[in-house]
Structure formats: C-alpha cells, structure tokens
C-alpha cells in the first residue's frame, strides 16, 4: 500500500478477480508489456478464468487485445488458452497464441511497432475501452512510475475510458527516474521535430500522467517478469558475430564511423546476444545503443564500460540477467533510458542518429529481400516487431541468420522469399555463419552473386547457383531474373516432404 502515494486511490485497491470483472465481453483492452517485461501478471489469469467459466456456461466472451509487443505466459498464454482473444496486435511470441493464430482462431494484425501509438491516436482502430497497466508505484499526485517496459502504456492510459493498474512490488523503486516519457507528439498537421540529437538525450518526464478519476481499480502484486533463459552461444552465432565485428572494424578504418561506432540496435534472440558479446570483446570503445530491447548482452556491454548508455523501450533479460540488473541498479540508473516505443522506434530519430541495426530473419532471397515473419509464407513466427522501423531508417541495416534451419532441412537463403517484410532496398548487409555479403551499391544480379557465394550453406549453394544461371538465361526480364514456376518450389518441396533438399 505504501507504493500508492495518492491517498484517495488507496480505496481503489481490489482483488484480481474484482478487477477482471471490470472488463466486458467485446471490450478492446490495451495491456502493458514488451518482450516479457512490465506486463500485468494477476488480472489476465483472473480474466482467463472468468472467460473459461463464461464459455462453460455457453456464453460468448472474447476481447480485442493490444499490447506493446510480446508479453508472458500469464497474459498471452492464459488468455489464448481460454480462447479469450478475438483480435490481437501488434506482436506475439507466445507459443499458444502463435498456434491459435496459425489455426485461424485469432485475428492477428502484425504491424510496425512505431506505428501503433500514432495510429491508435489517429483513431484508425476504433475506441480503447480499458487499459491494464503494470507500474512500479503511484505518486502523491496520481502520476505513475513505469515498470520494466514502457511500450505503448502512455497511449493506452491517455486513450482508454478506464485504467486498471497492477502495482508490482517486484520492481525496485529505484527504477523511478530511469524513464523518459515524451509528451510532445501530436497528430498531423501539427507535428513538430522530436528534439533528440543524441541517443542518450532525455526529452520528457519520468512518469506517466494519469487522471486519478479514470483509475477504476488497483491490484497489488509481487511477481517476476518472464525472464527467459538464453541458451549458451553456439559456434554459428559466434561466427556471425565475428564477421560483423570485422566488418565494423573495416568501416572504422575507411573513416565511415569512429571508434565508438554509431548507436546500436540489436534484435531479440540468441544470435543478437552473440553479436553483443562479440562487440564486448572487440576493441570498440565509447559505444551507445539506441534500441528497443535491452538483453543480457547489453548488460555485459554496459558492465565492460565499452557501452556508455542504452536507450530502449523494455528490458528483456534472463532470470540471471534480471538479478544482475537489480543488483547493479545504482550504476545502470544513469546509463539506461526507458522510452515509449513511439520514440525508441521513431523513424525520424533513427535516421538522424544513424543507427546500426542488426536483426534476425527467417529467410533471405538471392536478391536480398528479407522474410522476418512467415515460415513457408503462411505460418507466423512472431511478427515484424521493430525490425522494419529500424531497417529502413538505419545507417547500416544487417540481417543475420544461420544458413539453415531445422537440422539442415531448410535453407534460409532461397530463390525467392516466400513473404517479404524488408525489401531489398532496406537491406545493406546479410550475414550467416558461412559469410557476410555487403550489398551496398550492388545491382540485383550482383547482389545474387554475393549472397549465393558468401551466405548460402554448401548443401544448397549449387542449387541456388543453378537456379540463378537458368533464370539469367531464360527469365522474362533480366533486372531480377526469376522463374516464377520454380522460384517457390523449394518451399513447396518442404511442405510436401519436410525437406527442401531434392530427392
């Protein structure tokens, strides 16, 4: 209760069941949460139980669910399991949710994360009924101390008819002061430049404004973030990291950036962590990050003293990383800045700062188009997340992946991508454990030659070269030679036989 500074709001403390009862069938609910941190952990399971009971009684009850990005099993897992979600945006990595989306049981809108807040404000998605937001505390004036992610919370609090809060004592009160909540965004034609010229500028305030009259309920919790363990760095990821560090060293030697590089953005996953580890062992000093997730590798970089600051919208740590974060909080407080996703992923800022963007991919085609989201063109993995926000606007945009998936049965370099998230114009460098293809300035055919030679796995290289040679000899046009009757045959073979390899 001492975390609720606003005296009158103390009367609104209630159980998770009572809070869940404030959500009605058909409501659009904006919940906090970004990559497994700062999501509500008590109300969603209570809501799932209520919806289970309604379904058992033959009543229809589903909600439309908006978040910052992925959440945790208590939220996406519980609600998906209860068939509680009719519509979901903008990003999901929960396995139960993924399965239901791929069975066609949840309508899923996978969108650029930086677009969510402005489009909600613009009214494109209709009315937001309820916001359910996890916070660290409530101040005397009713303003809210954010938790371990910011995501779209500012927008949910502003746009929703009513706000339900989870005040989570697991979050250290020393988080107060680390957030930078910018209130200067407006809608066209009234937009003004975002006053940020360095990755670690602070341009906003440390709390969310919140009208206490809108707070319909408060639930007290003490529950940890999802904190998924990372698997140890494997040889392939280490090879990718080494290639990227060598490439950046070359760029420094060419005078295209200094020893501190340019602000770094690193995606989610194990390859991304390995790259950060490679940078920690590199000779670069005085680096800064302008990213959307702070994972264990970023903590290591901060600890090494080589990374001076990290601007992000969320933490995404392992359980061990979370322990280290809390233990070192006094040191991290000045170095870590947590912003709204609208700003962490803002194209204007990314372009101005000259961010180096590094993201994972599902597959690349020989011309450098990237699929980040849909396996075999139709089965969602997670979503585009912030990769598009960064890739298009970056100073240098890298896409990385092992050259094969599923034990070698899938080549991640294919004749034609089965779905395209990032067009070839947004992709400068592709890296697999086989090699690095620097695509800057290359025409499509030169891109194909570089990608096949440098990035493809030996098991697939000859097949790709053979396809490309025949396409060059017989395609309808020779700008990007393709043979449409054959270009997706590798995917079709996998769907039919479970293996892209012929025979």
Indicate the SS3 state at residue 488: coil
On whether the CB atoms of residues 256 and 250 are closer than 8 A, the answer is no
Q: Which of 166, 292, 363, 433 is catalytic?
A: 292
Instruction: Say whether residue 430 binds ligand 0RQ (CB under 6 A).
Output: no
The answer to whether 156 touches 48, Cβ cutoff 8 Å, is no
372 belongs to the binding site for ligand 0RQ (CB under 6 A): yes
Gap between the Cα atoms of 478 and 230, Å rounded: 44
Separation between Cα atoms, residue 400 and residue 437, nearest integer Å: 11
Q: How far is the CB of 69 from ligand 0RQ (least distance, A)?
A: 4
Q: How far is the CB of 237 from ligand 0RQ (least distance, A)?
A: 9
Q: Is 323 annotated as a binding residue?
A: no
Does residue number 269 form part of the binding site for ligand 0RQ (CB under 6 A)? Answer: yes
* Residues contacting residue 206 through CB under 8 Å, at least 6 positions apart: 145, 176, 177, 178, 179, 180, 181
Residue 485 burial (10 A CB sphere; 0-12, 13-18, 19+): exposed
Burial class, 42, CB count within 10 angstroms (exposed 0-12 / middle 13-18 / buried 19+): buried
Segment lying near ligand 0RQ (by CB under 6 A), choices 204-212, 274-282, 322-330, 360-368: 360-368
Shortest Å, Cβ 231 to ligand 0RQ: 9
292 is a catalytic site residue = yes
Task: Candidates 188-196, 320-328, 397-405, 450-458: pick the segment binding ligand 0RQ (CB under 6 A).
Answer: 397-405
Q: Nearer Cβ to ligand 0RQ, position 129 or 225?
A: 225
**In the complex, which residue's CB is closest to ligand 0RQ?**
385
Query: Binding residue per annotation — 393?
Result: no
Q: Is 267 annotated as a binding residue?
A: yes
Say whether 382 counts as a known binding-site residue.
Answer: yes
Q: Which is nearer to ligand 0RQ, 219 or 355 (CB)?
A: 355
In terms of residues, how long is the chain?
503
User: Is residue 286 a contact partner of residue 306, using CB atoms and an 8 Å limit?
Assistant: yes
Does 51 count as an annotated binding residue?
Answer: no
Does the N-terminal peptide bond of residue 90 adopt cis geometry, omega within 30 degrees of 0?
Answer: yes
Q: Least separation, in Å, of the C-beta of 12 and ligand 0RQ?
A: 32
List binders of ligand 0RQ among 65-104 (CB under 6 A).
69, 91
33 conformational bin, left if phi > 0, alpha if psi -120 to 50, beta if neither: left
Instruction: Using CB under 6 A, count the residues that bind ligand 0RQ.
Output: 30
**Which tokens belong to 388?**
């598009």
- Chosen residue from 109, 308, 381, 495 binding ligand 0RQ by CB under 6 A: 381
Q: Which is nearer to ligand 0RQ, 23 or 375 (CB)?
A: 375
CA–chain centroid gap for 263, Å, is 17
- Considering only residues 80, 152, 270, 428, which one is a binding residue for ligand 0RQ as defined by CB under 6 A? 270
Answer yes or no: are the C-beta atoms of 69 and 151 closer than 8 Å.
yes
- Kindly state whether residue 38 participates in binding ligand 0RQ, applying the rule CB under 6 A: no
DSSP category for residue 4: B
Q: Is 406 annotated as a binding residue?
A: yes
Q: What's the token pair of residue 436? A: 């690095």
Contact between 276 and ligand 0RQ by CB under 6 A: the answer reads no
* Part of the chain binding ligand 0RQ (CB under 6 A), chosen from 358-366, 423-431, 439-447, 454-462: 358-366
Taking the complex as a whole, how short is the minimal distance between the CB of residue 239 and ligand 0RQ, in angstroms? 13
Residue matched to tokens 């969320």: 314
**Site residues (CB under 6 A) for ligand 0RQ, limited to 406-425:** 406, 410, 412
Q: Is 116 among the annotated ligand-binding positions?
A: no
Shortest distance, CB of residue 137 to ligand 0RQ, whole angstroms?
Answer: 26
Helix (H, G, I), strand (E, B) or coil at 338: strand
* Closest to ligand 0RQ by CB, 138 or 294: 294
Residue whose structure tokens are 């086989």: 434
- Residues between 283 and 312 that touch ligand 0RQ (CB under 6 A): 292-293
Residue of 157, 271, 427, 464 interacting with ligand 0RQ (CB under 6 A):
271
The piece of 162-170, 217-225, 356-364, 485-493 that touches ligand 0RQ (CB under 6 A) is 356-364
If you ran DSSP here, which 8-state letter would residue 283 be given?
Answer: S
Whole-angstrom distance, CA of residue 426 vs CA of residue 501: 29
Tokens found for residue 104: 């066609």
Task: List, as one string, the DSSP characters of 167-226.
Answer: EETTS-GGGTT-EEB------TTS-------STT---SBSSB---GGGEEEEEEE-----
| Contact with ligand 0RQ (CB under 6 A) among 375, 442, 471, 488 | 375
CA distance linking residue 125 with residue 17, whole number of Å: 28
Q: Active-site residues: which are they?
A: 292
Q: Which residues bind ligand 0RQ (CB under 6 A)?
A: 35, 69, 91, 113, 267-271, 292-293, 359-363, 372, 375, 381-382, 384-387, 401-402, 405-406, 410, 412
Binding-site positions for CoA: 267-271, 362, 382, 386, 406
């Amino acid at each position: 209760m001492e975390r609720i500074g606003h005296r009158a709001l103390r009367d609104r403390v209630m159980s998770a069941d009572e809070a869940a009862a404030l959500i009605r069938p058909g409501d659009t609910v904006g919940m906090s949460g970004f990559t497994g941190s700062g999501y509500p952990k008590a109300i969603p399971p209570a809501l799932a139980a209520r919806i289970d009971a309604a379904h058992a009684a033959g009543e229809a009850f589903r909600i439309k669910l908006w978040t910052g990005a992925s959440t945790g099993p208590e939220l996406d897992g519980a609600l998906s399991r209860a068939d509680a979600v009719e519509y979901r945006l903008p990003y999901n990595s929960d396995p139960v949710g993924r399965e239901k989306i791929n069975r066609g049981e949840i309508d899923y809108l996978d969108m650029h994360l930086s677009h969510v807040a402005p489009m909600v404000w613009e009214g494109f998605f209709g009315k937001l009924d309820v916001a359910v937001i996890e916070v660290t505390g409530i101040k005397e004036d009713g303003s809210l101390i954010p938790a371990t992610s910011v995501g779209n919370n500012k927008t949910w609090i502003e746009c929703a008819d009513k706000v339900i809060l989870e005040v989570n004592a697991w979050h250290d009160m020393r988080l107060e002061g680390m957030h930078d909540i910018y209130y200067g965004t407006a809608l066209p034609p009234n937009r003004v430049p975002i006053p940020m010229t360095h990755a670690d500028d602070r341009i906003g305030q440390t709390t969310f404004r919140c009208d206490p009259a809108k707070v319909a309920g408060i639930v007290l919790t003490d529950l940890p973030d999802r904190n998924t363990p990372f698997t140890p760095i494997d040889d392939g990821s280490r090879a990718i990291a080494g290639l990227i560090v060598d490439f950046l060293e070359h760029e420094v030697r060419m005078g295209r950036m200094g020893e501190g590089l340019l602000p770094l953005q690193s995606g989610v996953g194990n390859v991304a962590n390995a790259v950060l580890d490679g940078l920690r062992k590199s000779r670069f000093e005085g680096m800064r990050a302008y990213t959307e997730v702070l994972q264990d590798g970023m903590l290591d970089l901060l600890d090494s003293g080589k990374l001076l600051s990290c601007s992000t919208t969320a933490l995404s740590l392992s359980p061990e990383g979370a322990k280290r974060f809390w233990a070192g909080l006094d040191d991290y407080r000045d170095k870590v800045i947590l912003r709204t996703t609208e700003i962490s992923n803002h194209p204007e800022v990314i372009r101005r700062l000259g961010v180096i963007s590094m993201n994972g991919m599902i597959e690349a085609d020989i011309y450098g188009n990237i699929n980040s989201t849909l396996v075999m063109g139709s089965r969602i993995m997670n979503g585009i997340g912030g990769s598009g926000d960064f890739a298009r606007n970056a100073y240098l945009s890298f896409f990385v992946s092992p050259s094969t998936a599923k034990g070698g049965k899938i080549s991640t370099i294919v004749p034609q991508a089965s779905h395209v998230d990032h067009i070839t114009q947004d992709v400068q460098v592709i890296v697999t454990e086989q090699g690095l293809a620097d695509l800057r300035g290359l025409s499509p055919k030169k891109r194909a030659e570089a990608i096949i030679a440098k990035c493809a796995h030996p098991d697939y290289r000859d097949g790709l070269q053979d396809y490309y040679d025949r396409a060059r000899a017989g395609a309808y046009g020779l700008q990007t030679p393709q043979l449409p009757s054959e270009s997706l045959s590798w995917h079709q073979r996998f769907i039919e036989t479970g293996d892209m390899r012929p025979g």
